[in-house]
Amino acid sequence: MEIQCPSFQVLLAFLLFMIMVLKIGKIRGKTKYSASNLPPGPWKLPVIGNLHQLAGYLPHHRLRDLAKKYGPLMHLKLGEVSAVVVSSA
């Protein structure tokens, strides 16, 4: 019994491709974050990271407040860029 519909073959190929992409992404995600020991930091939003916590007239005061809460060494996400902030507070 042979399937004659070419759209079924395209759909099957697409599904196999998506499964492979998801598995590769999952493997890369595990190795990317399991090897790095980052210092603690505040919660992050998906796209903007911690930029919402630094918005305002005096962002250095916000950094001081975050350093009091998380310590002099903390991890921030500025958009999609990771940053380790070192402070004397």
Q: Do the beta carbons of residue 69 and residue 32 sit within 8 Å?
A: no
- Is the dihedral angle over the CA atoms 65, 67, 71, 75 positive or is it negative? positive
pLDDT tens digits for range 13-52: 899 998 988 888 777 665 555 446 889 999 999 889 999 9
pLDDT tens digits for range 63-86: 999 999 999 999 999 988 999 999
Token pair belonging to 34: 């399991």
